Amino acid sequence: MAKYVQWSNDSTFSGCEEIMTALDECQAKGFMWKTIGMCTNLKHEVNMCLRAERLDRTAKNREVAKQKREKAKARWAEIDANS
């Protein structure tokens, strides 16, 4: 029974799907295949792909949070001006 990661079909990692599938196929070849490092490059590629997606996602989240803070700050300024 193989003990490798099953990737979900979550759209979060859609850009890395091909590399993840290749890693799954490599790891499915068996314990010795993984032990002698035949899947190491694929694993590194998956890690770099996921890292890039995470960095993109956090940059977008940071921008959204910044806009929300500016909007809240403007509302408080308006409340203070009308008080």
26-81 tens-digit pLDDT: 999 998 988 899 999 999 999 999 999 999 999 999 999 999 999 999 999 999 88
3-state class of 79 per DSSP? Answer: helix
pTM for the whole structure: 0.70
Q: What is the DSSP letter of 32?
A: H
Q: How far apart are CA 29 and CA 71, in angstroms?
A: 54
Radius of gyration in angstroms for the set of CA atoms belonging to the chain, rounded to a whole number = 22
